[in-house]
Amino acid sequence: MNIQERRNKEGKITSYRIRVFDHRDSKTGKQVFRSLSVKYDDSKSENWNRKNAEKQGAIFEKGIEEQTCTDSRITFAEYAEYAIGIKERSDISEGTAVTYRQTIKVAEKYIGHMQLRNLLPNTLNRVYSEMLSDGKSKKNVRYIHSVIRIILGFAAKEGIIPKNYAEFASPPKKEKKEIKALSEKELTDFFKALYSEDTNYTYQVFFNLMIVTGCRIGEMCSLDWEDVDIENKRIHICKHYVHTKDGYVIREGCKSAGGVRWIYLDDSTAMLLSEYRERYMKKAAELCIDCNDGKLAVFTSPKFFGRNLDTSAARSWLRYFNNKHDLPQFHPHQLRHTAISLQLKAGIALTDVAKRAGHSRSDTTLLYYAHSMTENDKQCAEAVTKILPDMPSHNKSEEPTAS
């Protein structure tokens, strides 16, 4: 440990700089030091200040040896970018990294300048309250907290801070998420209006397939003809849209481990898709596009035939269509919610519904769609009682009386 006096132009001591050896760089072999500044107290003697600096230096040195001492120079903004970069190369997707960086950009306004060691629970709680006062939703603040917790957790693992202080903070409580499925009337009115116009043929097939399969809109837009097996009446879900720094791109694989799956179609939907394919290939031939290329998108961009329909374009069209026909506005994902809810209400086994939906675990399906299964309670009772013989009738006179 080395202690140096810092003096002003008049030669008066203003602080003490304490320099302690930390480790050797694994690549260069050079020594790496950590430093601490202790302010000079003018109300005390020089001897007292010197001893105080030595005492603080000893605590600092012990903290470095035990890896419980923070680097006082690093701010949250600086460390967050470093941590996300490391995690991006190891255990998170490119899309997740983009989302983390967007979230950190929002958080930087409040804590970007703060040193990691100062992000204590009470500090974070004040910051969350300030975010709410600025108009941010509880859900948004809770997600910002989760990203901060991940960053500070990484810092704790690296020994930069003694513990993850975000674990002890109190973000807004999670509100129970309500799955909003379309009512039978809303669903019927939408498809009646959709089928009433011949110009909507592509979207007729698109939204019909969405409600029948319960697929996510990104999975539907990612479909290529090589993923369609009309002969066996099934489609292969094996791609999804990914948000990158350059925009949205289609990548192999799915959102979850159970996402890659074959989904079987009923006869009428398979016939609808077969007729759509015939018309599609006819148009491709007219445009001199190779029809044997399985990479052609099933649902194509209106501007570039054969390229995948963009999810934002499909959402925009749905808003325009509902507004045009004076229908209630709904998000395309609500068709997925509706499909899953209808399957559960029909008494389909939870495991089968989860598999078709692409959920890795059936308890995920149960968590969000348990309310759809309450109507099955009567069926549960009838499933047991229908195999029992009829109970014999008894006259009231024969009923036993209490003694």
Q: Distance of CA 61 to CAs 6, 18, 33, 37, 399, Å?
A: 20, 9, 11, 13, 88
Q: Residues near 369 by Cβ (< 8 Å), separated by ≥ 6?
A: 179, 337, 340, 341, 344, 353
Average pLDDT (376-402) is 63
Residue 137 forms part of a structural domain: yes
Same domain, 189 and 315: yes
User: What does the pLDDT read at residue 30?
Assistant: 82
Residue 141 forms part of a structural domain: yes
Q: Are 219 and 292 in contact (CB under 8 A)?
A: no
Residue 402 forms part of a structural domain: no
Per-residue pLDDT tens over the stretch 129-148? 999 999 999 999 999 999 99
Residue 387 forms part of a structural domain: no
Mean of the per-residue pLDDT values of the chain: 84
Same domain, 41 and 155: no
Same domain, 194 and 108: no
Average pLDDT (385-392) is 68
User: What does the pLDDT read at residue 246?
Assistant: 65
pLDDT at 373 over 70: no
Same domain, 61 and 80: no
Per-residue pLDDT tens over the stretch 313-322? 999 999 999 9
Residue 292 forms part of a structural domain: yes
Residue 119 forms part of a structural domain: yes
Alpha carbons 230 and 212: distance in angstroms, whole number: 15
Average pLDDT (143-170) is 90
- Residue 25, Cβ neighbours under 10 Å: how many? 10
Instruction: Pick the more confident residue, 378 or 249.
Output: 249
Same domain, 364 and 254: yes
The full DSSP string for 338-367 is HHHHHHHHTT--HHHHHHHHT-SSHHHHHH
Residue 174 forms part of a structural domain: no
Instruction: Pick the more confident residue, 251 or 334.
Output: 334
User: What does the pLDDT read at residue 61?
Assistant: 80
Same domain, 346 and 294: yes
User: What does the pLDDT read at residue 366?
Assistant: 78
Residue 307 maps to which CATH number?
1.10.443.10
Q: What's the domain range around 231? A: 184-378
Residue 86 maps to which CATH number?
1.10.150.130
User: What does the pLDDT read at residue 2?
Assistant: 86
Same domain, 60 and 136: no
Average pLDDT (15-40) is 79
Residue 386 forms part of a structural domain: no
Most confident of 23-27, 84-88, 294-298, 388-392: 84-88
Q: Report phi then psi at 262, rounded to 5.
A: -95, 135
Same domain, 197 and 155: no
- Of the chain, the end-to-end C-alpha distance in Å amounts to 93
User: What does the pLDDT read at residue 296?
Assistant: 87
User: What does the pLDDT read at residue 322?
Assistant: 95
Average pLDDT (342-353) is 87
Same domain, 299 and 233: yes
Alpha carbons 211 and 340: distance in angstroms, whole number: 9
pLDDT at 379 over 80: no
pLDDT at 72 over 70: no
Instruction: Pick the more confident residue, 174 or 145.
Output: 145
Same domain, 324 and 355: yes
> In the listed set 46, 65, 84, which residue is the last one of a domain according to the structure?
65
Confidence of residue 207 (pLDDT cuts 50, 70, 90): very high
Q: Are 110 and 153 in contact (CB under 8 A)?
A: no
Looking at the structure of the chain, the number of domains it has is 3
Q: Are 364 and 353 in contact (CB under 8 A)?
A: no
Confidence of residue 243 (pLDDT cuts 50, 70, 90): low
pLDDT at 126 over 70: yes
Same domain, 366 and 323: yes
User: What does the pLDDT read at residue 187?
Assistant: 93
Same domain, 215 and 360: yes
